[in-house]
């Protein structure tokens, strides 16, 4: 009888483990303003290294550690002539990581403070954050 009870508890434990949702991998986006690069890791493994454009002279990109606050697949700036901001990931007020069509400016400061990426890279990051969750995503911006 004792052996039967142990077997039943072992079987229940295996079923509970199999049914538990997998732990979502943590997404980390580190933005190096001095290098104008973004490094993306998932579960501690680097998956991307992309050129960015951050705030140009007179406009700063805020530094610090953030989590995404909201996301929009399609978004148009309310402040700057309805400029397109595809695959926007907002992290502080009106500041976002988003796609840009000004590809020649990537690799140097050019924005009003947002972090710009090539559209394909913005879409990739957006999809990673959606897949793993905003709560499992960290954005670090530093010099």
> Is residue 76 scored above 70 in pLDDT?
yes
d(CA 133, CA 143): 26
> With 70 as the cut, is the pLDDT of residue 66 above it?
yes
How many other C-beta atoms can be found within 10 angstroms of the C-beta atom of residue 18?
7
> What's residue 23's pLDDT?
54
User: Strand ranges (DSSP E) for the chain?
Assistant: 27-32, 37-42, 45-51, 64-66, 70-72, 88-92, 95-99, 115-117, 137-142
Please say if the pLDDT value at position 78 is more than 50: yes
Q: Name the residue with tokens 């700036």.
A: 77
pLDDT grade, residue 80 (50/70/90)?
confident
Selected residue with higher pLDDT from 105 and 81: 105
The structural architecture, per CATH, of the domain 26-142 is Beta Barrel (2.40)
Structural tokens at position 12: 């229940």
The domain locations on the chain are 26-142
pLDDT tens digits along 100-137: 999 999 999 999 999 999 999 999 999 999 999 999 99
């Amino acid at each position: 009888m004792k052996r039967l009870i142990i077997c039943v508890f072992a079987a229940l434990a295996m079923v509970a483990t199999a049914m538990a949702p997998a732990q979502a991998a943590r997404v980390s986006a580190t933005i190096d303003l001095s290098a104008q690069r973004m490094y993306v890791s998932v579960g501690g493994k680097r998956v991307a290294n992309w050129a960015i454009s951050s705030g140009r002279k007179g406009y700063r990109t805020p530094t610090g550690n953030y989590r995404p606050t909201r996301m929009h697949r399609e978004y148009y700036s309310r402040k700057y002539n309805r400029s397109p901001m595809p695959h926007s990931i907002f992290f502080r007020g009106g500041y976002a990581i988003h796609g840009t069509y000004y590809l020649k400016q990537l690799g140097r400061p050019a924005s009003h403070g947002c972090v710009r990426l090539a559209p394909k890279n913005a879409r990739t990051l957006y999809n990673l954050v959606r897949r793993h969750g905003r709560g499992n995503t960290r954005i670090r911006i530093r010099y």
